[in-house]
Structure 1
Amino acid sequence: WTGNKCEIPINSCVKNPCGSNALCRTLKMIDYEQDYVCICHQSESYGLNCQDGIFISFIFIISNS
């Protein structure tokens, strides 16, 4: 909180907690334990702060039969 009487909530998304490949949305602190939520790019990351990368591997099976 900031302001002369601590009446203005600080926007946690300013700190970029979600990284560059995600969207950050501010929540009302009274409703949630955490005051922001990260919307991850589904094909690149996941986790509370989109901190975990997604590893995609492919297996090719070649058969002559």
Structure 2
Amino acid sequence: MSGSRHRRMEAVRLRKENQIYSADEKRALASFNLEERRKRETKILSSFREMVYRKTKGGDKP
């Protein structure tokens, strides 16, 4: 390949590589965000359950 064609092909290859890497990064970030959201929801649900338990436990007392 001539020099200019080689540079052009190299640029195309690098762009393709970066697209693949950015897609992988997006996928990993989405997975991480989903896991963090699940942790946060679990924490909120457990605090609500605890609050409801305290309210119902306290409501039974005379």
TM-score (norm 2): 0.32
- Determine which structure has the larger helix proportion and give its number: 2
> Relative CO higher for 1 or 2, CA cutoff 8 Å, sep ≥ 6?
1
TM-score (norm 1): 0.31
- Determine which structure has the larger strand proportion and give its number: 1
